[in-house]
Amino acid sequence: MKYEQLAKDIIKNVGGKENVNSLTHCITRLRFKLKDESKANTEVLKNMDGVVTVIKSGGQYQVVIGNHVPDVYTDVRAVGGFSSASEEATEEKMSPLNKFIDTVSGVFTPILGVLCATGMIKGFNALFVALHILNATDGTYILLNATGDCLFNFFPIFLGYTAISKFKGNKFIGMAIGAALVYPTLAGITAAPAKPLYTLFEGTLFASPVYITFLGIPVILMSYASSVIPIILAAFVGAKIENGFKKIIPDVVKTFLVPFCTLLVIVPLTFIVIGPISTWLGQLLGALTLAIYNLSPIVAGLFIGAFWQVFVIFGLHWGLVPIMINNLSVYGYDPVIALMFGASFAQTGVVGAILLKTKNKKLKSLCIPAFISGIFGVTEPAIYGITLPRKKPFILSCIGGALGGAVLGIMGSKLYIFGGLGAFGIPSYIGPNGVDNGFYGAIICVLASFLIGFMLMFFTKLEDNQVTETVKEETPLVKQEILVSPLKGEVKPLSEVKDEAFSKGVLGKGIAIEPTEGKVIAPVDGVLTTLFPTGHALGITSDNGAEILIHIGMDTVQLDGKHFTPKAKQGDTIKAGDVLLEFDIKAIKGEGYSVITPVIITNSDNYLDVIETDKKNVNYREDLLTVMI
């Protein structure tokens, strides 16, 4: 395995495989759902070779890898023994926004690659016709169009699979619901010269002709070929119905009776209730987004273009993806999400300027792959590795994206397919009537966004031009302070301490020790700044400024000093190894108290990281914690 060691390090620092509920990936990120995010060593991961950064959003712990994330994902799955499809229930409480984002990303992420691929094929096919390379009657065009249209025309089947998986239902029941929605015979019933039996809600916005009934109940037939909302809602309800039948149907016949009963209920219910209502909701949603766009396409372009990258960073773009796909289904185009197209090119232009300006060899080596991937719309390496840490370049890229969005708004550009990213997305702006002003607007947007981003960055001072050029080869870029163990005993993670102030890291990062001897020595040179009168806890400030708390046992303050014998006094200057305190382990345990002892850095937020020893047992003066300064 090419990334086996990286996979092992990632699994270790997300808290181990036992801390992982589920694992998926998107274009550049591993998306973990962790049982306890406090067990993850976020700073260690951020500074790990092979990891760009870590993002916590939408209830997910996202480890940004870069363009080769599929290979890393494969190795992480293999090393951790994770299933690609299984996802255990998690007790994590999420806000409604996080739940929504998590649900939408869970539904769309698995098919995102194929969705982009088929959109690219359809987009290039349209480009070939516009350039008169192909004719719409050519066999080549027809076959390519079938390849490009296959997913979108049968979208409910694919979404049925992913949506019901997200809702913990049978994947094939989800596919069956989606297949029923696009069943050809039902679609043909409404074709001319067929006449409706009658019309429901006649004279209203929701007037619907009825061509057939089910057990005397009117069925409103609609086109579900490219729809999104009906199948997602149907999958949600279907999963609930399926779980209900699982509880009452005997195990011996569950295999076929659960799907049998579920489909008999959910498919008619979808056509009679869920489908029409969700279709109407989709139409209203589309009308609302178009109304906002029509108020001022230029303002909308400035806003979407400027903040699209911010939405991506926080995962909020997933909330806009269904709107785009819904608009494509309802209207055949989307003018709203189309306005984000310049953002990736502005980001790439900024990176291009940094590449030319910087004399920092490491930064230059980061810029080259980030620039190349940015051309094709994958900007996470550029954002997290280059522009966002330096703040000003990221802001300049947002300005370039805003102006590119304004150009799209002025030119009335629309997205006609959900195609490729970056340069591959240009054909997505070719409409059914061929090349028009909207397509030219997309071209102008690409050039303008790139050049604006490039020029703004090129004429702006780059603060860290020569950061590493002046550092001698033998000089470490990161300093560290090592704390030796103040106790002898068994090493335990803080999460095992039965006090949330320690176990959740509220008081700082560190480690715990179950002592086998009742003696505490100084872990560093410094000052004994605090010695509690009860003797159960002491605070030390090292000569390098690390603030250390050693807390012997849990709730031992209630012993009021009994069984504790201080060997130093508050304010003393101490050297590593000096005996500071003695205590009677047997007597303390006899009083009913635990002697597990957290050793933490209370000002750990001031440091890059605090790295714990990987030993299971430690003796006095052995390395225990490393503080990265």
Q: Over the stretch 75-122, which tens digit does the pLDDT of each residue have?
A: 999 898 886 544 444 444 556 666 666 677 678 778 877 876 887 787
Q: How far apart are CA 63 and CA 72, in angstroms?
A: 11
One domain, residues 29 and 104: no
**Cβ count within 10 A of residue 314:** 14
One domain, residues 343 and 453: yes
Q: Is residue 91 part of a domain?
A: no
Q: Contact 266/241 with Cβ under 8 angstroms?
A: yes
- Which residue shows structure tokens 């309800």? 237
Domain boundary among 86, 107, 128: 86
Report the residue count for the chain: 629
**Other CB atoms within 10 Å distance of the CB of residue 623:** 14
Confidence category of residue 626, pLDDT binned at 50, 70, 90: confident
Domain boundary among 416, 442, 477: 477
Distance from C-alpha of 491 to C-alpha of 401, rounded to nearest angstrom = 51
Secondary structure E strands in 98-247: 198-200, 208-210, 212-214, 217-219
CATH code where residue 615 lies: 2.70.70.10
Q: Of 120, 136, 115, whose CA–CA distance to 433 is shortest? A: 136
Residue 489: C-alpha distances to residues 392, 512, 518, 587, 619 (Å): 49, 10, 10, 17, 7
Q: H-type helices in 226-296, by residue range?
A: 229-248, 254-269, 275-295
Alpha-carbon separation of residue 170 from 27, 125, 224, 264 (angstroms): 26, 36, 21, 15
434: left (phi over 0), alpha (psi -120 to 50) or beta: left
- Summarize pLDDT for 370-404 with one digit per residue, the tens: 888 788 877 877 886 788 878 899 999 999 999 99
Residue 23 lies in a domain: yes
User: Is 422 a member of any domain?
Assistant: yes
> Is residue 316 located within the same domain as residue 371?
yes
Residues 201, 124 share a domain: no
Active site residue 150: no
- Whether 478 shows a pLDDT value over 50: the answer reads no
For residue 555, give its domain range.
480-628
Q: What is the pLDDT of residues 195-215, one digit of tens each?
A: 888 888 887 767 788 899 999
SS3 state at 49: coil
Q: Are strands 208-210 and 212-214 parallel, antiparallel or unpaired?
A: unpaired
Residue 332 and residue 99: Cα distance in Å, rounded? 29
pLDDT of 517 above 90: yes
Q: Examine the pLDDT at 552 and tell me if it is beyond 70.
A: yes
- What is the b/e burial string over 467-478, where b = at least 16 CB atoms within 10 angstroms of the residue's CB? eeeeeeeeeeee
Q: CA angle, corner 146, sides to 141 and 147, nearest 5?
A: 100
Other C-beta atoms within 10 Å of 617: how many?
14
For residue 566, which amino acid is it?
Answer: P
Identify the sign of the CA torsion 326, 331, 332, 335. Answer: negative
Residue 602 confidence (pLDDT) above 80 = yes
Q: Are residues 320 and 416 in the same domain?
A: yes
Whole-number pLDDT of residue 463? 63
Shared-domain flag, residues 466 and 487? no
**Is residue 376 one of the residues assigned to a domain?**
yes
Residue 62, domain CATH: 3.30.1360.60
Same domain, 318 and 411: yes
Q: Is residue 502 part of a domain?
A: yes
- Percent pLDDT > 90 in the chain is 39
What per-residue confidence (pLDDT) applies to 287? 77
User: 260 and 360 share a domain?
Assistant: no
Domain for residue 92, yes or no?
no
Q: What are phi and psi of 564, to 5 degrees?
A: -120, 135
Phi/psi class of residue 517: alpha, beta or left (left: φ > 0; alpha: ψ in -120 to 50)? beta
Cα separation, 156 vs 162, whole angstroms = 10
CA separation for the pair 114, 159 (Å, rounded): 12
Residues 553-585: tens digit of each pLDDT: 988 888 888 999 999 998 899 999 999 999 999
More confident residue, 25 or 4: 4
Closest C-alpha among 577, 583, 576 to residue 557: 583
What token pair was written down for 126? 């349209």
Domain end call among 292, 323, 351: 292
Average pLDDT, integer, range 238-246: 94
| pLDDT value of residue 422 | 83
How many CA atoms within 13 Å lie on the side-chain side of 183? Answer: 12
Residues 165 and 281 in one domain: yes
- Same domain flag for 158 and 267: yes
Examine residue 227 and state whether it is found in any structural domain, yes or no: yes
Q: pLDDT tens, 120-168?
A: 787 788 888 878 898 888 999 899 989 988 887 898 999 999 999 989 8
Question: Do 579 and 614 lie in a common domain?
Answer: yes
C-alpha of 471 from chain center: 36
Residue 285 has pLDDT above 80, yes or no: no
Show the tokens assigned to 129. 């016709």
Buried b (16+ CB within 10 A) or exposed e, 429-439: bbbeeebbebb
Element counts in the chain: helices (H) and strands (E): 21, 22
Instruction: Judge whether 319 lies within some domain.
Output: yes
The per-residue pLDDT for 284 is 78
| Structure tokens given for 223 | 């086109």
Radius of gyration of the chain (CA): 30
pLDDT at 479: 61
Average pLDDT score over the chain: 85
Q: What does residue 61 show for φ and ψ, rounded to 5 degrees?
A: -105, 105
3-state secondary structure of 407: helix
User: Maximum CA pair distance of the chain?
Assistant: 100
Q: Are residues 197 and 319 in the same domain?
A: no
26, 116, 398, 445: which is the annotated catalytic residue? 26
Domains identified in the chain, total number? 4
Measured CA to CA, the distance from residue 406 to residue 341 in angstroms comes to 11
